[in-house]
Amino acid sequence: MANDNPMVYLNGRFLPLDQAQVSVLDRGFLFADGVYEVIPVYGGRMLRWSEHWRRLEASLAGIHMPPPLTMIEMESALQRLIQGVYDQYLYLQITRGNAGKRDHNIPKDYIPTVFAMCSPIGPLPRETGIKAVTLDDIRWKLCHIKSIALLGNILLRQQALDQGVNEAILVRDGFVTEGAASNVFALLDGVLVTPPKGPDLLPGITRDLILELAHKHDVPAKEAPLPLEALHQAQEIWLTSSTREIVPVLELDGRPVGSGRAGPSWRNMDELYQAFKARARSGQ
């Protein structure tokens, strides 16, 4: 099963985790000058690899960095890290590397740092759901970039934990953006609603997959601005991400959501999602 010292990828080399080192002058360390991806792996196969690659390219473009490897080079490096067939996820991080000194200016010449590792996916809070609070979205204005600068997200998550719940749902100017590490869906009068893509939120791969499944199976769904008052009236609320899939929120701001139990729409979508995963696992 899980190995405490797995092989990781660092700048073209495969080596044990405890031997992987980067410079203290790395711009990722000094400035959080980098981006990342998290890709779930089922049955030894990456789920939606091309979508993750496209988002990585978009994140890199957002920080003015050309991809240091081609999609095929990256894919073959990642494939070598996958261990066995249990559920796991690949973490991939690219920073602007060591520029020889600490200087805010983006260097003209630099050697990027490319790091990847694979970790097991733990048990998920599916049926049991989670509790959440709404918090003011204090983050920056480029949340569509999957930046490694996650201090805003970390502080918001901690604020939620300190209030005795599992996750923060973020609100900007009266509208829901996303969770501290997830996207948000609300069931409003039988229609699934998720906020539209834009600089306020990460374009989640799971979010897109859910919209795709909804479309294919005639589940009413739309991308539309989601006011905080509407969220408080929702019959169901879900949070979605690659490693946590679709998690029902059973309590929001101290009040039960709908019946206070995982709802029928969640159950239906979770079944569709699990069936999609099972097909991906067997290579279909």
Ligand X SMILES: Cc1ncc(COP(=O)(O)O)c(C=O)c1O
Residues near ligand X (CB under 6 A):
38, 153, 178, 181-183, 202, 204-207, 240-242
Question: Least distance from C-beta 53 to ligand X, angstroms?
Answer: 12
Between CA 118 and CA 33 the distance in angstroms is 22
Question: Least distance from C-beta 238 to ligand X, angstroms?
Answer: 12
Question: Least distance from C-beta 40 to ligand X, angstroms?
Answer: 8
Catalytic residue among 131, 146, 197, 222: 146
Strands 167-172 and 130-136: parallel
Nearer to ligand X, 178 or 236 (CB): 178
Nearer to ligand X, 98 or 240 (CB): 240
Q: Are 240 and 247 in contact (CB under 8 A)?
A: yes
Nearer to ligand X, 181 or 214 (CB): 181
CA torsion, ordered 226, 227, 233, 238, to nearest 10 deg: 40
Question: Least distance from C-beta 265 to ligand X, angstroms?
Answer: 19
Extract the tokens encoding 180.
């501290």
- Hey, how many other C-beta atoms are within 10 angstroms of the C-beta on 258? 18
Residue 146 designated active-site: yes
Nearer to ligand X, 107 or 120 (CB): 120
Nearer to ligand X, 25 or 154 (CB): 154
Question: Least distance from C-beta 172 to ligand X, angstroms?
Answer: 13
Q: What is the largest CA-CA distance in the chain?
A: 58
Nearer to ligand X, 106 or 121 (CB): 121
Ramachandran sector of residue 251 (left: φ over 0; alpha: ψ -120 to 50; beta: rest): beta
Question: Least distance from C-beta 89 to ligand X, angstroms?
Answer: 9
Between CA 139 and CA 2 the distance in angstroms is 34
Question: Which residues are catalytically annotated?
Answer: 146
